[in-house]
Structure 1
């Protein structure tokens, strides 16, 4: 008997709900949590019906993940402006996740990676040209690692056809005119509960860290105030981007690189072995610690005595020998 036919026959005897349970079991170990509470039962209650509904369609599961904007502009956090081993690890993780889901659900799964650097470029103070270079290299990585499971799209790809020719600033204007919400409304929503306030504080921290570059000459107080303002704008852009994604991909399953409340329609997901629920490949570096890859900020790796490894002539990741890591990492 043909192996593929046999697998299809096996899956046809399993209920959509049972398959949804297995798919969710693959996701739950990698969930980004807003805190340490065990709220898995609430997550299951809200996510399981969404998965079951998608599985009942008997088509590939489509996950939409807004992520991979650009490398942090702060050299204390990253190795450079282009994707490196940190992104490679994350893309490999996502590809492997799709493969594991396919074992339970024969139509398989795909991830539409919505690279959103041009949505935020002016706010995070990364030039659009740098974002474009990052996305070009990211596409090459996807083509090499997971061409069957991951597709990359960006802001221009998703705007209506009559807006496709506008420049980056024009594209952001079109996005906010059509899908944006006022800053006061965003601020009030964030301050309404602890999860929202934690999100605001985390984004502010990113803005502050990214702005605290070696060349920064202003005061920390001024940078903190500026970071708070830009954090609101980042969330405002993110909401508009999410609204556009909902419009373009109705019915898709939403992933997020941010911690999410247990009853959220989005599922917050880690992209690598990282204890920090907010650290991402574009805000850190990959570190080989005695044969195990971890994600951390560049300055942390350097303080631990790490050395830089190059691949194809470019800085790729750090290495800390096992003897060095003793007493530094648990």
Structure 2
């Protein structure tokens, strides 16, 4: 297998967290422990971007005050995660349009995180999955009907697994009876930023003296371009690789613009929530990058399949799992669910 594109670092366990000052109030102590626990699963671009200390004041500055505030009110701490858009349209990467065992693994991880928090803070946490598939479905080749089915399937899976700490939120919830195109138009009218501004940030992100925000914009642009390119490479498509690459680069800017607009809407709708991201985030970012399944790098449940190995589950493209000779496993309802690898990965 190819080496991971990103280094995923697990910092010191929250179980070993020790507050140095005996004067710290109980709410701050609980909040610090909770933040450290989430940071155990941080997703960062490079090892050098990680402070290596769960008590880092730079990292805590954006997130700890919100957690402390909720704890002092004895309320669940809210986390928002823009993710779970819908399955990739590339049949060589996924098993189909509906959530499968890959999503189940990610949901169970988030649910387990909530259960761990309840062991020392009874109100627990609330994780709101802000499904963003409708935001850019027309750009990435996802059918609207598949987005609807995926959102419904995700909610059903959350209920089936009895994950009471997890909720969902999407554009359909916010914009109600508008058509899907009208939803996207309204989103960009109110929350969208200019294309020139984004291009400027992406270009600056390649410079030696680029800011962390500019570096993040460039990194995200490269990642989205790669996803769009890969999703378009499947049997039956007739465009050349160079044409697909050019198209992917152009579309990536609009995907990011809409994604940023969706983030602004979420921030306005949930102002007290701690913001999570599936994308790598550097030390001190306003969002915490989080990985959802094991030590996956850029792979997500909606861009791959779950493969059971002797060392646990990993996420791979469907074509990679089949090349390895993995056996397809079906759910109790007869739907393709995951793969099982008999030998070593």
Aligned equivalent of 2:238: 217
Question: In the alignment, what sits opposite 2:192?
Answer: 180
Residue aligned with 2:204, SS: coil
What are the ranges of 5 or more consecutive residues in structure 1 without an aligned counterpart? 1-12
Structure 2 CA distance for aligned equivalents of residues 279 and 150 of structure 1: 22
TM-score, length of structure 2 as denominator length: 0.85
- Residue 182 (structure 1) shift: 1.4
Could you tell me which residue of structure 1 aligns to residue 328 of structure 2?
A: 308
Quick one: distance in 2 between partners of 1:267 and 1:295?
Answer: 21
Match of 1:298 among 315, 318, 329: 318
Q: Is contact 2:102-2:304 (8 Å) kept?
A: yes
Give the 3-state SS of the residue equivalent to 2:64 in structure 1.
Answer: helix
Deviations 1:37-58 (Å, cap 9, x if unpaired)? 2324342454333432332332
Give the alignment of 1:1-330 within 5 angstroms.
Answer: 15-37=26-48, 38-40=50-52, 41=56, 42-159=58-175, 164-193=176-205, 194-276=215-297, 278-290=298-310, 292-311=312-331, 312-321=333-342, 324-325=343-344, 329=345
- Cα shift at 1:73: 0.8
Structure with bigger helix share is: 1
- Distance in 2 of aligned mates of 1:74 and 1:39: 37
Q: Distance in 2 between matches of 1:77 and 1:275?
A: 15
User: Secondary structure in 1 aligned to 2:319?
Assistant: helix
Contact 1:34 1:195 in 2 (8 A): no
CA-atom RMSD in angstroms: 1.6
Q: Could you tell me whether the CA contact under 8 Å between 2:201 and 2:218 is conserved in 1? A: no
Aligned mates of 2:318, 2:47 — CA distance in 1 = 26
Q: Deviations over 1:135-185 (max 9, x none)?
A: 1111110111244111112102123xxxx2111111111111111111111
Moved runs in structure 1, 4+ residues, more than 4 A? none
In structure 2, how many angstroms separate the alpha carbons of the residues matched to 1:146 and 1:244? Answer: 28
2:20 matched to which residue of 1?
none
Distance 2:47 2:217 in 1: 16
How many residues align? The count is: 307
Query: TM-score if structure 1 supplies the norm length?
Result: 0.89
CA distance in 2: counterparts of 1:158 and 1:54, whole angstroms:
24
Tell me the distance in 2 between the aligned counterparts of 1:54 and 1:229. 41
